[in-house]
C-alpha cells in the first residue's frame, strides 16, 4: 500500500512511524494518569484539570517555534533535541511534589510533544513531496495506535509494580531508543533533491488559503477533542452506567485508528475532496441520529470515530498538494489545531449546563456544518487561484 522509491525513504519513513507511536503514547498519558497525579499532589480534580490547559498552551507555542526551527536547522537535530526534552519531562513529572511544578512540566511536555508531532509531519512531507498522502495517513494511524496502547501500558505498570510512574518511564525509555535512528539517518530538507519521490508541482503562496486551512484544522481538532473528552460525561448524563460510558471513548479511538488505516489506500484511489465530503456526511448523519435517538450510543461512537478518522490526514495531504508546506506553515497549522483543542471543548461544559445533555449532538452537528462551510470556502478560493499561475 505504501511506495518507497529507495532504501533511504523506507528507513526514514519507518523511523517516523515508530517515533509517532511514542508521541501518541505521550499524548495519551494525561487522561489515565490524572487521578494518580491528583493524589500525588493532593489536588482536587478541578485543580488538576489545569494540566490540560498547560499542555494545550505548550502545544500552541511548541508548534509555532518548531516550525521556524525546521526551516533553519537540520530537521533530525531538532527532533533529537525535542526527544531529549520529552524524555526529561516524562522522567521527572511523575515525581513532582507540587501541582505548580507538575503544571510547569506538562507545559514543557506539551511543547516538546507537539514539536515532535509538527516536526515529524513536516519532514515526512519533505521526504515524499506530492506522494505523501498515504504516508501521512499511516503516520497518524501510528499516533492513534500509541494512544490506544498507553492504557495497556498503564494497566501493566500498576499490575506489575503498583506504581503509575512506571508508565511514564516506559514511554520515556521507548522514546530514548528513537535517538539512535534519528541521529544516524540523513534528514530530509525543504529544498527538493534528486532523491525525492516525485517531482514537485507549483504551489500557491496565498495568505487567505493558509488562513482557511488553519480555520479548518482548528474546527476539526475542536470536534475530535470535544467528542473524546465529553462523550463519557454525555453517556452518564443520559443514563448509562459509568463503566459503560467509559467504554464509549475507547470505541471512538478504535474506530478512528481503523479509519486512518483504511484511509491509506483511499488516498491513492480517491480525491481528497471525496474523502472529506464522505467523512462530513457520515459525521453529520451520526450526530443527527444520536439527537433523534435512532442509534445506540456505542454504535454512534464507532461511526463518529470512523467519520473523524480521515479528516486530519486528508486535509494535511490536500494542503501539501496546493501550498508550500514549509516548517513555518506546518507550525501555524498545528498552532491553529492547538487553539481548537483549547477553546472548543472548554465551551462544551457551560453549554451542557445551560441547555442540558441533549445539546451535545447538535453541537457536534453544528461544528461539522461549519467544517463543511469552510471546505466550500476553501474550494472556492482554490478555484479562483487556479485561474492564475501559482506563485
Inter-axis angle of helices 30-41 and 50-72, to 10 degrees? Answer: 120
Q: What pLDDT is recorded for position 143?
A: 87
pLDDT at 390: 47
Per residue in 284-333, pLDDT (tens digit) is 999 999 888 788 888 999 999 999 988 988 898 888 888 887 888 888 88
Whether 76 shows a pLDDT value over 90: the answer reads yes
Q: Using pLDDT thresholds of 50, 70 and 90, give the confidence band for residue 360.
A: confident
Average pLDDT in the 47-69 region?
Answer: 84
Among 152-156, 209-213, 218-222, 376-380, the range scoring the smallest mean pLDDT is: 152-156
Q: Which of 38-47, 193-202, 210-219 has the lowest mean pLDDT?
A: 193-202
Write down the pLDDT at residue 244.
Answer: 75
- pLDDT score for 380: 93
Q: What is the mean pLDDT of residues 32-43?
A: 83
Rounded average pLDDT over 190-213:
69
> What structural domains and CATH numbers belong to the chain?
8-184 (1.20.1250.20), 207-386 (1.20.1250.20)
Report residue 97: phi and psi, to 5°.
-85, -15
Greatest mean pLDDT range, 278-287, 331-340, 357-366: 278-287
Per-residue pLDDT for 391 more than 70?
no
Segment 94-103 mean pLDDT: 90
**Residue 27 has what pLDDT?**
84
Residue among 218, 361, 220 at smallest CA distance from 295: 361
Report the 3 state secondary structure along 96-123.
Answer: CCCHHHHHHHHHHHHHHHHHHHHHHHHH
Using 50, 70 and 90 to split pLDDT, how confident is the model at 192? low
What global pTM score does this model have? Answer: 0.80
Q: In the prediction, which pLDDT does 283 show? A: 92
Average pLDDT, the chain: 84
Report CA-CA distances (Å) from 20 to 41, 140, 226, 300, 373. 30, 8, 22, 28, 31
Amino acid at each position: 500500500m505504501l511506495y518507497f522509491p529507495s532504501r533511504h525513504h523506507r528507513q526514514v519513513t519507518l523511523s517516523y512511524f515508530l517515533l509517532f507511536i511514542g508521541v501518541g503514547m505521550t499524548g495519551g498519558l494525561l487522561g489515565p494518569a490524572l487521578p494518580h497525579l491528583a493524589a500525588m499532589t493532593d489536588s482536587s480534580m478541578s485543580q488538576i484539570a489545569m494540566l490540560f490547559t498547560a499542555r494545550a498552551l505548550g502545544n500552541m507555542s511548541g508548534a509555532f517555534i518548531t516550525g521556524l526551527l525546521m526551516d533553519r536547522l537540520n530537521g533530525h537535530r531538532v527532533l533529537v533535541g525535542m526527544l531529549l526534552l520529552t524524555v526529561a519531562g516524562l522522567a521527572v513529572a511523575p515525581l513532582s511534589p507540587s501541582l505548580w511544578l507538575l503544571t510547569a512540566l506538562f507545559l514543557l511536555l506539551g511543547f516538546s510533544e507537539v514539536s515532535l508531532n509538527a516536526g515529524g509531519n513536516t519532514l515526512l512531507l519533505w521526504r515524499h513531496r506530492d506522494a505523501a498522502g498515504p504516508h501521512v495517513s499511516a503516520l497518524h494511524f501510528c499516533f492513534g495506535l500509541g494512544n490506544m496502547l498507553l492504557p495497556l501500558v498503564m494497566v501493566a505498570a500498576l499490575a506489575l509494580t503498583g506504581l503509575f510512574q512506571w508508565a511514564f518511564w516506559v514511554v520515556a525509555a521507548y522514546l530514548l531508543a528513537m535517538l539512535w535512528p534519528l541521529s544516524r539517518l540523513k534528514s530530509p530538507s525543504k529544498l527538493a533533491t534528486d532523491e525525492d519521490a516525485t517531482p514537485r508541482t507549483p504551489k500557491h503562496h496565498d495568505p487567505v488559503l493558509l488562513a482557511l486551512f488553519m480555520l479548518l484544522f482548528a474546527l476539526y481538532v475542536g470536534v475530535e477533542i470535544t467528542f473524546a473528552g465529553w462523550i463519557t460525561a454525555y453517556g452518564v448524563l443520559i443514563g448509562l452506567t459509568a463503566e459503560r460510558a467509559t467504554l464509549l471513548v475507547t470505541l471512538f479511538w478504535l474506530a478512528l485508528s481503523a479509519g486512518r488505516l483504511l484511509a491509506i489506500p483511499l488516498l491513492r484511489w480517491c480525491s481528497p475532496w471525496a474523502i472529506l465530503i464522505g467523512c462530513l456526511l457520515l459525521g453529520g448523519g451520526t450526530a443527527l441520529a444520536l439527537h433523534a435517538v435512532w442509534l445506540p450510543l456505542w454504535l454512534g461512537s464507532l461511526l463518529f470515530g470512523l467519520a473523524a478518522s480521515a479528516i486530519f490526514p486528508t486535509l494535511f495531504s490536500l494542503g501539501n498538494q496546493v501550498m508550500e508546506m514549509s516548517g513555518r506553515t506546518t507550525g501555524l497549522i498545528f498552532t491553529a489545531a492547538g487553539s481548537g483543542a483549547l477553546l472548543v471543548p472548554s465551551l462544551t461544559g457551560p453549554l451542557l449546563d445551560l441547555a442540558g445533555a441533549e445539546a451535545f449532538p447538535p453541537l457536534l452537528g453544528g461544528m461539522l456544518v461549519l467544517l463543511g462551510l469552510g471546505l466550500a470556502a476553501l474550494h472556492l478560493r482554490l478555484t479562483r487561484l487556479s485561474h492564475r499561475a501559482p506563485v
